[in-house]
Structure 1
Amino acid sequence: MIIGGEAALPERVARWRAAVGPEVLLLNTYGPTEATVVATVATLSGGTGDAPTSEDVPIGCPLPGVCAVVLDSRGQLAAPGTEGELYLLGGGLARGYLGRPERDAARFIPLEALPGSPRAYRTGDRVRLRGDGQLVFAGRVDDEFKISGHRIDPAEVETTLLGHPGVREAAVVGQVLAGGSRRLCAHVVAAEPVPLAAELRRFLLEVLPAPMVPSAFVFTERLPRTSTGKLDRAALRHVQPAGESAPVTTAATELERVVLNVWEQVLGVSGVSAQDDFFELGGQSLQSIQVANRLGVALGREVPVATVFRYPTAAALAQALERGGETGSDSGGLTPAMLADAVLPEELVPWQVDKGQGRDAPPRQVLLTGATGFVGAYLLEQLLRQTDVRVVCPVRARDEAHAMERIRAALKAWRLPDTGLAERVLALPADLSQPWLGLGPACFHGLAAECDAVYHNAAVVSVVREYGSLRAVNVQGTRELLRLAAAVRPKPLHYVSTLAVAPPSNLAPEVPEDFVPSHAGLRDGYQQSKWIAERLVQQAAERGLPVTVYRLGRVVGAPGSGTINPQDLVWRILLAGIPAGALPQLDVSEAWTPVDYVARALVRLSLVPRPGAVFNLTPAPEVRLGELFRQVRDYGYPTELLPVPDWCARVAASTDGAAHKATLAFFELRAGSSEPTFGLGPTRCERLTQALAGTGISCPPADRQLLFRYLDSCVEQGLLPAP
């Protein structure tokens, strides 16, 4: 089997090798017509060639009679491992282009780096020479475009655009406008319904850095082609959007215009409106801090970061700033609009099947969301360890290779093995915030037919963002996954939830292993979105879908590695407070559960059907944060315990105070609230304990020894100074 013509994805090669084995020789070839079609070849399977890695699939070594030379931007021989342009030499080169001497002079040239060598063909392709002597294709030289110092490969933007269900074809080119300004322009052949340019821009910002997102979009019925059928990029570079002058920023008030101007500076976007969501446009914690700082300069007064988090649209933020930027909590609970989101659509009913059909057969393929996250990486590792299933992982990425790269990076970050990853895991570019998970109806229903179970672990976790900016992934994504689980044939859905949905101790005496009604303690966006998602799962269970819920407490690092999750709130408090010499007085208790225990227990529980069950995965004694913070002093850090307002002031005034503004925003948002920041009643775990009896899976206590192991790891990684 001989392949060529476009870059081969390593995951697809791995699937070929797993399905076909070594019996069939798989060759990857490369070569332009000017060098008589094929110039290099790599053996990918069935021979002595190296198996492709996660990073690349080689195009191999030159065929007999062909010489390949890689030159850097200065025309010198490129060092092994670095990228350069590929030149081909040998008797197979064409004599030239008929009647085009100027093109001959540009493409068929002598090499100054190799004096006395025959003429060479300049391919225009970027390659890298591996240590084993094989070449790896890295893209086109002439398609690259620089904007604000960023080197951009339009093909990467095109691949991401094609992941949107509303895009049938796409071509992205760089344009130099009058006055010398530069931009990317995307030419799109749309499917029905035609997406808005703003929608495509938001879609791209979820995956790509802001400089790589086109500032102009042209919708067309077809893309221009050359006489040989290739995309005519030269023609596209001269096409301007119809009636375009400059992107219009729509704002109703002067203050809204100030906010939108700051957004454009920080996010690198244009054409946004006062109703766009800052976080949907790609805003992150760091950008929120930058927005607060720049607004403070523009308005001549301090703008709390918490205000930016609480009001994610320019209209709402402008109104809050007009009122003085108050950030205190509201009365809590769910609004009528949120309660409407908590109603499962009537048409979402599992298809009826014969009683017991397929129930006893072990799953062959499952879907796992959130595999690139902290808990998700461990869940993936345990699915590969405890079962023989093939795992499909939807990942926010530009293509399959990038999706697999993100999964592999997550496993590496948490020191987990990647054994069997290429053979048993399919990384699928997807977007949980979009209809059909961003996959389109055909792929969506294909997964519904092929997968035997769904593990829904993905969620946006933020204790400072409001409900509206979490709704798309946490609520709508859950609804779409319930739709997938119910389609074609009903299949188990294992939903990873949180103890944060339970009422606080002043509203309920304990946390049951059961669904909980809505309550006034649902105060922040994360609690609200997760409770609503859990309510959707509950309704699906009532309609006959075999669902199981697993509630997690504070998930901490695996004791064996000692690795912590630096995005966890308690660790953000510790990482901010220890260098400042102070920790907050928080007289509360909470459940701490090591992540490896969570993953082992959840996967084991999922292998036995328990439709409608709720498990609280927190069997260990609770941790008192006040005692934990005192143990930090025993470790050797001279820290004093301060009231929360004083602690916030101490951290803000410290050397690294600016880096911890997002952490301080959590407390700012709760300033003046009568509700406790933390605190639940005792958590019931009888169902969990009974189900795991005899499995050998037990939860280690979060004690002084474990805390010291975590602190040792923080020092080793440079997250904290040595005590």
Structure 2
Amino acid sequence: MSLPDPTEDLDWGGYIGGIHEIFHKNAVAHPDRLCVTETVTSKAPTRTYTYRQIDEASNNIANYLRDSGIQNGDVVMIFAHRSVELVCAYMGTLAAGAIVTVLDPQYPPQRQQIYLQVSKPKALISIRKATEESGPLAPLVQKCIDDELAIKIKIPDLRFTEDGELIAGEDSADIFANVKGRASTPPDVLIGPDSNYIMTPLALGASLILPAKEDIQHVRLSEWMRKWSPTTTHLTPAMGQILVGGATAQFPSLRQVFFVGDVLTTRDCRSLRQLGPACTIINMYGTTETSRAVSYFEVPSAQEDPAALDSLGDSIPAGWGMKGVQVLVVDREDHTKICPIGVVGEIYIRAAGLAEGYLNDPEKNKEKFIDNWFVDNEKWVEADKANDKGEPWRKYYKGPRDRLYVTGDLGEYRPDGAVRVLGRMDSQVKIRGFRIELNEIDANLGGSPLIRDCKTLVRRDRNEEPTLVSYIVPEIAEWKRWLETQSLQDIDEEGVEMGPCTVYLKRFRRIQAEVRDHLKSRLPAHSVPSIYIVLQKLPLNPNGKVDSPNLPFPDASLMTEDASEEDLKSWESLSETEKTIATQWSTLIPGLNAKMVRPDSSFFDCGGHSLLAQQLLLDIRKELRADVTIGVLYANPTIRGLGSAVDSLRSGQAVTVDHSNDNVYSDSLDELTNTLDAKYQSADPDALSPSNGATFFLTGATGFLGAYLVKDILDRKNTKLIACIRGAKDLKFAKERLVRSLKGYGLWQDSWADRISCVIGDLSKPRLGLDDASWKHVADTADAFIHNAAYVHWIARYEQMMGPNVLSTIDAVKLCNEGKPKLFSFVSSTSTLDTDYYINLSDAQTATGRGAVLESDDLLPNRTGLGTGYGQTKWVSEQLVREAGRRGLRGAIVRPGYILGSRNSGVSNTDDWIVRLLKGCCQLGARPRIINSVNAVPVDHVARVVVASTLNPLPGMNVVHVTAHPRLRMNELLSALSYYGYEVPEVDYDIWKSQLEEFVSAGAVEKDQEQNALMPLFHMATANLPSTTRAPELDDRNAVAVLRADADRWTDIDDSAGDGISREDIGRYLRYLVEIKFMAAPTGRGRKLPEIDTSIAEAQAQWGVGGRGGTS
């Protein structure tokens, strides 16, 4: 199917009448047809009304409004919820020529007041039934009405005589009253969640059934559906979950279900098809601003096509534009382009029926309602003049206006031309430097069989820290089955009422740990929410959507009632030190009750993270007088372990976690070597060339270096890329994440779209987390494999990092031994050299003129002595890759040092140690004097060395050093701050360290203050930087060789002279960091920061990069 043409004529003058006019024609055509049925409630019997009765009542309202002075275009507000009186008031207001706005009594008074102030209605129609059920208007709302509104109309219940005649009230304003309607079987019925969809069936001449409010809840709604046997229904996805949640009653009469308002999941559709096997599901897309649903996608009934959902993924597409509507997916960088199939863009709606705009908000109208730039609107104006037949409605018609509504939603075209909505452009948030997709969290939460419904938000805790909070509704039947498998008893708990929500504090406590484990296996650690609040159901607003503002705040889960008798017994068993530490945890971790903490509870499993860890250590130092290091915490994260360490320190005993003398990592090498294949295929680099082409398989493609590896690969002629992406729900989402990353770094080129494909993987799992089909595809397709991804953590122990860093490397070389022979490059780190042995060796060899540490050095002296788990995993991985090389594998081990920003653009990784050091110094107003040299190289050059080493390897498996030419000293690097106008005088390291400790020890920052950039790396910054930042000089003759070969065979550019960082480069990085608002601009005297392309910074803000990258 072809994509929509934004220059096509949408029949701008094809007006068929207002909905009230169409309704009146239906009333004339079939006056005695049943129009509206309000079903029985606990307080009132069933009420039914014909088309003639509703039409007559509507006309009376219209006449009264006109007689009261209402003119065309005046705003009339109706205070009502879903009822027959609302139908009459709505139709009557339209017939009077007024603009309708509905104020629902369920909204809080403050919101009602805002609606009144913004819409500035000339009249208010208040339906008595609404005030009876919801109570009188709040005083501030009533005052606003009394002060501002000239016309006030009160409507009691609608009443007719036994002959069907409307009874007029004694007060001329009391237009309606009660009735004894007569029941009949409607030919076609529809339930509407709001006023828009009450009107649609009436315009079609159908009969409408309205359920009572008390019936719109789990189980009861399905029973209502079975009892009243509608053939058609209209729901929001949230109401659909109420319909199917826990339901057993089937409704065979149902033929069509229309959904609009939010993402419709295939899981909910499967449940619905089981209960209504004959129903066709129509998913629609629309917003308030489009005045109606604007697209549709039809899913055949289960009877017609049992497998209809199998190919649709996790959610139902939005589909195709309805008549007179186009759903345009527009390129986010070049709005003159419509995205091709499979490319993600922003959704724009083109239609004649768009809303007039936001009332009294011209600036927002300019932003969201824009003229169609694809075609000259005068073309339609001239055509409309030619068709002018003097119709009565033309005196109100403003003429053709070819406008677009900017939705802010992301979407893509499927091969059949249907649009798939991929979420909001603003659904991505940033917490602690990490970019997080809220939609992705909910998608993975929804994959748990224990969860029926969920919503994840970023809320601020009592310390004003942004915190991920997931609100979950359990699937009760599955929960009970799970309890049986665990041999556990359910807890009888009614829950606590918090506003419109019922919160369970005890009953589902175990589900939280289960859900956290579920997410940990699918998402990066930073995307796993800290708090889970279990609700009976998600609150809905009057439009049937999740009412996010009414979800309880995180402190709701801090109630002391949450501690059970079992918890209290465990609490009493803790020592005083352990109780103090548990209390400190509860102070730092939102939603944690100290009395629920068990001896084996882990700080990190309870919701702690690196920033909170640093604060915890300061709290322990202040309150317990124990100087606990970050390493001790990571080695002893439980209450019992940490309490024991604190007690040991307070009694004068040494507590150390220095594993540099341990044999754990070197012992594991001996065991892991036995898992390697006996022989490896040896690929021929000469078989790959610009004429023959090359297909790369790359891990870590969405990270900082990974993005530039993608660029270097695809900038070459005749190359293709298969990228391994972690945590994506499907392949399209995986590719979108990669494209978004590349666009954020300013690297993306449209010509790459057909040369990139993705597989979904996870380094922490066997076989790189690839399914069998993906493994085979890569094995049979890839010519070269760059293993760039890794779990980077400067505190975690070797055992914790062994899976994603070491075992993944074994699987990587195994993949090279299947299918095609592959060239293999392993991106390592100079952290494998971080021992005194190599620093002393470098000093000795340099002093005697024998040069630096050679690339041929086997690093066996570092079998012991490496002090970080990360360095240990890289050392073991290097040794395994070397051994695979001895057994036939061809490739390279590339060792970069510090990877700084792009020389060309200034784009930098805001989580880089040196970048954080630069910002931290500015925050402190001082920089330390450290004279060690820094092996820092621009990311562009590191990527070039990695790709050149892959395509042009020396015989066997060789190390390639990436070393700076020339190297700056640390004090030279930091002096660039003063050079460019930052007021940061140089001080001795000990003074600078004391200032940093004082800054951090001051405690939690105020709401508008910013945490020091070095806080996550506080342990490194205060651990004798003059000593820990020393690094050996490195020989790089292998790097020179592969870069020269690369120039000859691939690029025609000789980069063999190497690269380094200059003061100008640092200035460019600072400018970028200022542009993205990571750092403040300098205010002192100094050179002006270099110019950069500011569109790069804009792209960073739009596409969400610059923080930490993933591990795959």
2: CA distance, partners of 1:455 / 1:482 = 10
Name 2:363's counterpart in structure 1.
Answer: none
Contact 2:694/2:720 (8 A) holds in 1: yes
Structure 1 position 284, deviation (Å): 3.8
Change (3 A) 1:551 1:352: closer
What is the aligned partner in structure 2 of residue 704 from structure 1?
Answer: 1063
Using the size of structure 2 for normalisation, the TM-score is: 0.46
The secondary structure found in structure 1 opposite 2:710 is: helix
Residue 570 of structure 1 deviates from its aligned partner by: 2.0
Q: Deviations over 1:303-355 (max 9, x none)?
A: 66565456445554333322238999766635222123324352431766699
User: What is the deviation of 1:647?
Assistant: 0.8
Q: CA deviation at 1:93?
A: 8.0
Distance 1:215 1:485, change over 3 A: farther
Mapping of residues 527-538 of structure 1, within 5 Å: 527-538=871-882
Q: Find the partner of 1:266 among 586, 589, 599.
A: 589
Amino acid at match of 1:548: A
In structure 2, how many angstroms separate the alpha carbons of the residues matched to 1:391 and 1:203?
A: 23
Judging changes above 3 Å, is the alpha-carbon distance between structure 1 residues 421 and 94 closer, same or farther for their aligned structure 2 residues? farther
Structure 2 distance, partners of 1:644, 1:477, is 39
Report how many aligned residue pairs link the two structures.
597
Distance 1:422 1:357 in 2: 26
1:30-76 alpha-carbon deviations (Å, 9 max, x no partner)? xxxxxxxxxxxxxxxx44469xxxxxxxxxxxxx99x99xx999699
Residue in 1 that maps onto 2:642: 317
Matched, 1:458 2:811: no
Q: 1:157 to 1:696 in 2, by over 3 A?
A: closer
Q: CA deviation at 1:575?
A: 0.8
Paired with 1:334 and 1:492, the residues of 2 have a C-alpha distance of 35
Look up the equivalent residue of 2:495 and give its one-letter code: G
Partner of 2:349: 132
User: What one-letter code is carried by the residue in structure 1 that aligns with 2:993?
Assistant: C
1:483-498 correspondence to structure 2 within 5 Å: 483-498=814-829
Query: Residues 483-517 of structure 1, C-alpha deviation per residue, up to 9 Å, x if partnerless?
Result: 32234454222111112212442244432213422
Determine the C-alpha separation between the residues in 2 that align with 1:296 and 1:462: 24
2:990 maps to a residue whose letter is: P
User: SS of 1:506's equivalent?
Assistant: helix
Name the aligned partner's letter for residue 854 of structure 2.
P
Is 2:722 the partner of 1:378? no
Aligned counterpart, 1:516: 859
Aligned residue for 1:530, secondary structure, equals helix
Q: Which amino acid aligns with 1:662?
A: P
SS across alignment from 1:448:
helix
1:537 alignment partner, SS class: helix
| Equivalent in the alignment of 2:1029 | 678
Please point out which of 597, 605, 613 is paired with 2:941.
597
Matches within 5 A, 1:18-97: 25=1, 46-48=2-4
Alpha-carbon spacing, 1:536–1:94, altered in 2? closer, same or farther (3 Å): farther
- 2:802 is aligned, of 434, 447, 471, to 471
Instruction: Name the residue aligned to 2:613.
Output: 288
> 1:280 & 1:487 partners in 2: Cα distance?
38
Question: 1:195-227 CA deviation, whole Å, 9 max, x = no partner?
Answer: 9877435325636441686989xxxxxxxxxxx
Shift of 1:379: 0.6
Does the C-alpha gap of structure 1 residues 422 and 341 become closer, same or farther in structure 2, counting only changes over 3 Å?
Answer: farther
Tell me which residue corresponds to 1:564. Answer: 908
Alignment partner for residue 721 of structure 1, among 1068, 1074, 1081? 1081
The one-letter code sitting in structure 2 at the alignment partner of 1:707 is I
Partner of 1:333: 660
- For the pair 1:100 / 2:442, whether they are aligned, the reply is no
Cα distance in 1 for residues equivalent to 2:769 and 2:509: 19
**Aligned residue among 663, 666, 669 for 1:342:** 669
Amino acid at match of 1:179: G
1:201–1:213 CA contact under 8 A, matched in 2? no
- Distance change in 2, residues 1:133/1:622 (3 Å): same
Highest Rg: 1 or 2? 2
Contact 1:449 1:489 in 2 (8 A): yes
Distance of aligned partners of 1:99 and 1:558 in 2 relative to their CA distance in 1, 3 Å threshold: closer
The whole-number CA distance in structure 1 between the counterparts of 2:768 and 2:207 is 48
Aligned CA distance change for structure 1 residues 100 and 540 (closer, same or farther; 3 Å): same
Q: Name the SS of the counterpart of 1:618 in structure 2.
A: coil
The superposition leaves residues 229-262 of structure 1 with CA deviations (integer Å, 9 ceiling, x where unpaired) of: xxxxxxxxxxxxxxxx999899995456765676
**Which of residues 123, 127, 132 is equivalent to 2:259?**
123
Contact 1:277 1:469 in 2 (8 A): no
Structure 1 contact 259–318 (Cα < 8 Å) conserved: yes
Deviation of 1:594 after TM superposition, in Å, equals: 0.6
Structure 1 counterpart of 2:611, which letter?
L
Q: Give the corresponding residue for 1:224.
A: none
CA contact (8 A) 2:930 2:971 kept: yes
The residue that corresponds to 1:160 in the other structure is 444
Find the partner of 1:178 among 472, 494, 499: 494
Partner of 1:202: 520
Q: Please tell me whether the aligned partners of residues 457 and 495 of structure 1 are also in contact (alpha carbons under 8 angstroms).
A: yes
2:446 and 2:1010 map into 1 onto residues whose CA distance is 42
SS of aligned partner of 2:876: helix
Counterpart secondary structure, 1:534: helix
- Return the alpha-carbon distance in structure 2 between the equivalents of residues 153 and 712 of structure 1: 28
Give the whole-Å Cα distance in 1 for the aligned partners of 2:977 and 2:923: 12
Aligned to 2:952: 608
- 1:408 and 1:354 map into 2 onto residues whose CA distance is 33
Determine helix, strand or coil for the equivalent of 1:338: helix
Partner of 1:232: none
Residues 592 and 620 in structure 1, CA contact (< 8 A), matched pair in contact too: no
Structure 1 residues 281 and 589: CA distance shift in structure 2, 3 A: farther
Name the counterpart of 1:149: none
Q: 1:632 aligns with which of 971, 977, 988?
A: 977
List per-residue Cα deviations over 1:663-716 (Å, max 9, x = no partner): 321134x35x9x921223321111211222244243444222222322333333
Residue 618 of structure 1 aligns to which amino acid in structure 2? T
Aligned residue in 2 for 1:688: 1039
**CA distance 1:644–1:401, shift in 2 (3 Å):** farther
1:394 to 725, 746, 765: 725
Cα RMSD over matched residues? 4.9
Deviations 1:254-286 (A, max 9, x none): 456765676677276899986677667875433
| 1:644 equivalent in structure 2 | 989
Counterpart Cα distance in 2 of 1:267 and 1:421:
44
Distance 1:566 1:154 in 2: 21
| Cα separation, 1, equivalents of 2:103 and 2:957 | 62
Could you tell me whether the CA contact under 8 Å between 2:932 and 2:969 is conserved in 1? yes
Unaligned 5+ runs, structure 1:
1-24, 26-45, 51-63, 78-83, 110-119, 141-151, 189-194, 217-244
TM-score w.r.t. the length of structure 1 is 0.68
| Distance of aligned partners of 1:353 and 1:541 in 2 relative to their CA distance in 1, 3 Å threshold | closer
